Chain A
């Protein structure tokens, strides 16, 4: 039994070696070489001493933070109210459906909505504000990126809220807590794992949404993703592109370390939790 299983597992092991481990090593290796293929730390020195790169990194981080905050503010109440509705499965489907529409089509919709003579500007003219430059601004990037990420924030939070034992809320009410107290002391702390999962699902992709910066941000917003894409596909400076990639990977690990730890502890406390879902 065991031997046949091991045999069938070979493609999976090959996949791990070739597409998980090798790419990570290759991108690290590439970041340590120059265009002639010689070993050098030059890329990291350039990155660390160039104000352009540092500013871009801080900018990217800041926008990802803003996008995460905006989506969280909108998504938490949505998930909470969603968990109180009848026909939850249907509502959930309606949340999931937009994620199955290609992201580029959604971005394209906003090109039409926000353009100079587009619908939003027509409305602004109608109420007397007059047309504004909306497309190719920082605001438009923030708007579209948040729009795209919202479902990915709602789903994990919703899952956490649904798992919450209603008896806890009743107990808190019986013990005289106000609604606000129940929320801040019971509901929110117990659903923080969902919030963390949501942050994980939104923050990292927000660092790398290069197509949105191109189509909507009009190159005014440069994220880490945009920089990588440019170095790899336009200027062909793979070494520098890989260096930024390594920075992005490091950021990813930091983010995961920050959002992972508690969840594991919780799973140990509630080992049966998973089998329920």
Chain B
């Protein structure tokens, strides 16, 4: 009994530690005084400043557009990549693909940023939105592959044979059988790609040049100049946004889980999968 208590106290302590800095930021975003030292009174002023800041709004929109575009393309390329890898017959070839796929997953951000910078310069691609977009697509592809691949491997070959026996064309088999089956994997891949893009700072910092800034780059340059409660207000907004995303991801995950569960139950009961 006593042991349970120790563990709960420990867990609570860790959670307090994890969340203290974040809530500290949000708390002072309502501070009338201009700093994070003394709370002098409640105000929405910093939120007003944030929403009136044209440059900041533009940067937020850029960041979201970038995340959306890069994750869409990465999901497309990654999904076909995963299908292609799974279709290879030789085990060695598959594992070679996986090793190459994982290089960018384990590389430190600075290495990715620096080597992409060399790549863009040697190809003569100018730095800006384009180079950042290409980089984000590039470092999001492997996570999509990793999340889609297990679903593809779960795909029962008998299903594909059945579809073909029943006269489905290749396109029909693909769109009616394969895609619906791997959709949960595609969704989680898309979601992770999206957050990778939103979260990235280091790679963007290397390949962005002068004209284009994402939120992370902007926060970095402002934070170097010192405290500005506008950033606090921004982090409160982003916290709420992240909360929404996490809850969304949770439900997608739960959804795919219950579906899997249902399928298992169906199989147990000897019912054909619809």
Contacts and interface: CB of A to CB of B under 8 A. Distances in A.
B246 A93 contact: yes
Interface stretch (A42-50, A116-124, A166-174, A186-194): A116-124
Interface residues of B, number: 78
Contact of A210 (B83, B122, B202): B202
B84 A8 contact: yes
Interface stretch (A13-21, A51-59, A265-273): A13-21
B117 A20 contact: no
A101 B28 CA distance: 17
Contact of B201 (A12, A99, A211): A211
B87 interface: yes
Interface string B107-125: 1111111111111001000
Contacts of B109: 205, 208, 225
B242 A9 contact: no
B175 to A, nearest CB: 13
A141 interface: no
A151 B18 contact: yes
Contacts of A19: 104, 116, 119, 138-139, 141
Nearest to A121: B37
B131 interface: no
B10 A27 contact: no
Given A112-B36, A225-B108, A229-B110, A104 B118 contact: no
B238 A101 contact: yes
Nearest to A29: B118
A151 B17 CA distance: 12
A96 B246 contact: yes
By DSSP majority rule, is chain B's interface helix, strand, loop, or mixed? helix
B177 interface: no
A30 B108 contact: no
A245 interface: yes
Contacts of B246: 93, 96-97, 100
Contact of A9 (B14, B83, B139): B83
A140 B132 CA distance: 31
Contacts of B114: 27, 228, 232, 241-242, 245
B237 to A, nearest CB: 11
A85 B15 CA distance: 14
Given A12-B141, A118-B36, 13 more contacts: A1-B170, A11-B77, A15-B77, A18-B119, A27-B114, A81-B8, A97-B246, A102-B235, A112-B25, A118-B37, A200-B106, A205-B109, A225-B110
Report, nearest first, the 3 A-B pairs whose CB atoms are least far apart.
A12-B81, A9-B84, A23-B115
29 contacts: A5-B83, A5-B84, A6-B84, A8-B84, A9-B80, A11-B81, A16-B101, A19-B141, A20-B104, A23-B119, A74-B14, A91-B11, A101-B22, A101-B242, A102-B199, A103-B201, A103-B216, A105-B235, A108-B25, A109-B25, A112-B36, A113-B24, A115-B227, A207-B108, A215-B224, A225-B109, A228-B111, A242-B114, A248-B108
